[in-house]
Structure 1
């Protein structure tokens, strides 16, 4: 097989990646502008509450709903996961996380020395899906935090198994069951003064955009112990793309979109014209994995809030762009992780989807690429339904600024300007 990115870039002689392009189009300016509109009804800053959440408000927060969902999610064995309709999609998401984490650990070591001991905070760690990535990244210590107590217990078990099987020294770890958008988790850490080099929040930050105080608490947890020069990385939904796919310009009453494996539906109580900056709730369903409320993350607001906590945006990349960017360096790992489906299938294997529409993009490519003797290459791909779900997400990377040094430079600059102005005035006085 050959890997081909969008039918343009051949990466090896064995496999090609072909990605469906349908449905990925330019964003509507009207929809983008709707995010920027403000009105009294959705003025989150004006309505901000800085005191403790009262009992009535707690009942309306979705944190308990999310926690219950993940607490009740059954642990699936390897054999059962291989039979999943979204097996390749989940592996591709995992490959994306591997590339993000691997790249950022390499960057930190380039900047701080190859032998630096790295401390990590894994916000929304779930069952510990990234523990192996931290081991392979040779980090020193990991703080695992998640809202679901059952997930934390499963994360502990995975860590114990990892430690038992490992032939080398495994990183030390601690585990915190807490709502990271409402609690200061630094107070729960074994060492409250622990300096972090990296904070990772994979597929979880969107839960914090239920309200401004929650988003701020989440960012406070990110930034509080993160060292200057440290990084905050993550993945979250792309609110602009969600609004575009909703298609309300053409269908003003529409509140739902999706396909056979996922759906996004906005309840009637969520205003969409425009959506609020915080609390823009939608119900997200992904077959076998997710079925709970989430919130739109208006990225300019996210970026502005992050800057208040000394975090500067370094990278923001949609998943489909990230996949193409990382294919050249990550193709071997992509193969090992089985992140793509071979098409046509090998031997007696069947495609993961029985809907021919899911493979039209591949079939068209194969029809156009057959050589004179009728030979067709194998193609690595995702079904169209899986790709539509994958491409809802984006990658972000922030860097913690050295605010002390920054303020010092600002003071020095101000002092220099004042001295220069004073000298200029003195010269004028002498000349007069």
Structure 2
């Protein structure tokens, strides 16, 4: 993929996908009949039922979801530290941090922002039911807060952020310190216009020095795995990725279907990161960080506070090959990597791990940080 996509990236300024380059009437007619995949995405998440902690703890991907939440918590915490890095003038109160959450879902990150002590958040998502649940979660958080605790203010917007400009629903002059887009950017790469609108929403209202942060599947990893497969799909017992074809991966509109346990079952699109970086530059953004989840984990877990948070959030499963109380699954290939690690000299037991299937799913993702240049 690298050489093919690098070739396509040449002259990427004003790049068109293969289908956009074909200008005959038949192609233009067929494009009008293409289903808007955003409708499918919104429908899926609107139907998704909110379940309690007891039900989530029985899920096959319980620890993977906790791991992903830990990773986002670390990312958000460190970016908030950078935003607040500049010391205010003597006697001046620091300005409250303003956040835009694109693809907020049901509000799973609200508690992270609350712990970060932000001042205001705008939550936007294509799924109206999810936005309602996000607002309900916020209202519940505000009701249960201690009377001395100041909770951030919030605005909730139902919108397809790849087709609608949020600036039309925001206050004039409103600016953000951080835009966060977690596990959602890939939906916008259905075509160039949608991807550009999504980036404009993410970046145009950022303050100079502000950050655009997020998580998204690594296109190179997805293509590497499907190319290594004997079919047009790959995965395991908890997730499946299925491409429509192999061998050709256009810059925009390269669709695959992603399913994960009972949580996700929707079409997605490859986000070729060099292209994303190029498009972000048009919005005066520079790349600060791009790391695979594995790299991010290995770097951050070295810090005591992050390791402590990981244990608090149950982000890894406890494993010890000497513990007879371990689930029977621990004797299978799902935990052979943990068993091997336990056998190394100097390793303290138990060790924290994800099952093989969970790690195969989590390791398709990367984390990114862009910063707006002044």
Among 309, 312, 318, the residue aligned to 2:286: 312
Scaled by the length of structure 2, the TM-score of the pair is 0.89
Structure 2: distance between partners of 1:282 and 1:142: 32
- 2:167 counterpart of 1:192: no
Q: Is the 8 A contact 1:147 1:180 kept in 2?
A: yes
Matched, 1:154 2:141: no
Alpha-carbon deviations, 1:130-159, whole Å to 9, x = none?
101111111110000001001001001100
Change (3 A) 1:225 1:112: farther
Equivalent in the alignment of 1:407: none
Q: Does 1:133 align with 2:148?
A: no
Is 1:340 the counterpart of 2:316? The answer is yes
1:19-418 correspondence runs (5 A): 31-38=1-8, 42-43=17-18, 46=21, 57=32, 60-111=35-86, 113=88, 115-167=94-146, 168-189=149-170, 191-248=171-228, 254-268=231-245, 272-329=246-303, 330-344=306-320, 348=325, 350=327, 353=329, 356-369=332-345, 377-402=349-374
Larger Rg: 1
CA distance in 2 between partners of 1:38 and 1:195 (Å): 35
Taking a change above 3 Å as real, the CA distance of residues 355 and 211 of structure 1, as seen in their structure-2 partners, is: farther
Measured after TM superposition, the shift of residue 350 of structure 1 is: 2.1
User: What SS does structure 2 have at the residue aligned with 1:103?
Assistant: helix
The corresponding residue for 1:25 is none
Shift of residue 349 of structure 1? 5.2
CA contact (8 A) 1:44 1:277 kept: no
Give 1:424's aligned residue.
Answer: none
Q: Which residue of 2 aligns with 1:430?
A: none
Deviation for aligned residue 1:224:
1.6
Checking the alignment, whether the CA contact within 8 Å between 2:241 and 2:257 is kept in structure 1 is yes
Alpha carbons of structure 1 residues 354 and 362: separation in structure 2 relative to 1, 3 Å: closer
Question: How far did residue 46 of structure 1 move?
Answer: 4.7
5+ residue gaps in structure 2? 10-14
Contact between 1:37 and 1:274, CA under 8 Å: does it hold in 2? Answer: no
Structure 1 residue ranges, 4+ long, deviating more than 6 angstroms after superposition: 53-56
1:111 to partner: Cα distance? 3.0
User: Alpha-carbon deviation of 1:43?
Assistant: 3.9
The question of whether the paired residues in 2 share the 8 Å contact of 1:34 and 1:273 is answered with no
Q: Which SS does the other structure have where 1:111 is aligned?
A: coil
Q: SS at 2:301's partner residue? A: helix
Deviation, 1:273, is 2.7
For 1:37 and 1:61, the matched residues in 2 are separated by: 29
Q: What's the offset of the Cα at 1:58? A: 7.5
Structure-1-length-normalised TM-score: 0.78
Deviation at 1:204, TM superposition (A): 0.4
Count of aligned positions: 356
Identify unmatched segments of 5+ residues in structure 1.
1-30, 403-432
> Deviation at 1:61?
1.8
CA gap 1:42/1:216 in 2 versus in 1, 3 angstroms: closer
**Deviations along 1:21-65, whole A, 9 cap, x unmatched?**
xxxxxxxxxx321222339994477579xxxx9997475220000
Q: C-alpha distance in 2, partners of 1:293/1:355?
A: 35
Q: Deviations over 1:96-136 (max 9, x none)?
A: 00000000000010036482211100000000001011111
